[in-house]
């Protein structure tokens, strides 16, 4: 494991996130709940790295997700919108990059550190907060049918067939 990645994993007590594939740790979960039973908000810290490979496979959420860039190399988000549009968004400290970005609910998203970058440290917040039921992983078949022009990204970042739901209690 890259020594800096190891240091960050140990410092922030990160573990692999099921289905999605990134290093992560939940850092805040509101004690207040909405009438639906969802927490009012949640936050997490994540790490993408080249060694060991850590990235986010395609998934969508039922709520908007705010991404925050903390350090390291820029990271790339691949967004596949419900209306058929697609785009790449870069989070980082440089020109044309964002330090914060909101991914709209229902948008398929995948992410990784930029090539040759080593690692990217980031965070995500949701309000209402994350619960396992709001997550759906995207498989090759479902994404290729709608977004064929993004075939290379879909081949690289699609969830394995049958692994489209969190196994339970990931949000806690």
Q: Which domains does the chain have, with CATH numbers?
A: 3-157 (2.60.120.10)
Tell me what the mean pLDDT of segment 2-8 comes to: 94
Token readout for 147 is 């977004």
Under 8 Å between Cβ of 48 and 124? no
Rounded to a whole number of angstroms, the CA Rg of the chain reads 15
Rounded CA-CA distance 14/95 in Å is: 29
Tell me which of 33 and 82 has the higher pLDDT.
82
Average pLDDT of every residue of the chain: 92
Question: Region 109-117: what's the mean pLDDT?
Answer: 95
Unique residue bearing structure tokens 């290379």: 152
pLDDT of residue 3: 93
What six digits make up the tokens of 23? 């290093």
Tokens of 66: 């705010």
Which pair of structure tokens corresponds to residue 55?
A: 């990235």
Encoded tokens for 69? 């860039």
pLDDT above 80 (res 87): yes
Give the confidence band of 172 by pLDDT, cuts at 50, 70, 90: very low
């Amino acid at each position: 494991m890259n020594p800096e990645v190891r240091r960050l994993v140990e410092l922030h007590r990160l573990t692999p996130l099921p289905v999605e594939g990134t290093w992560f740790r939940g850092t805040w979960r509101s004690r207040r709940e909405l009438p639906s039973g969802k927490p009012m908000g949640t936050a997490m810290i994540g790490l993408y790295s080249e060694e060991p490979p850590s990235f986010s496979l395609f998934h969508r959420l039922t709520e908007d997700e705010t991404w925050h860039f903390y350090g390291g190399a820029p990271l790339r988000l691949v967004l596949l919108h419900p209306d058929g549009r697609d785009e790449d968004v870069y989070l980082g400290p440089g020109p044309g990059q964002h330090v914060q970005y909101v991914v709209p609910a229902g948008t398929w998203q995948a992410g990784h550190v930029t090539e040759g970058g080593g690692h990217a440290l980031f965070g995500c917040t949701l309000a209402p907060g994350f619960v396992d039921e709001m997550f759906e992983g995207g498989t090759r078949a479902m994404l290729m049918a709608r977004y064929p022009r993004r075939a290379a990204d879909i081949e690289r970042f699609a969830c394995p067939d049958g692994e489209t739901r969190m196994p339970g209690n990931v949000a806690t």
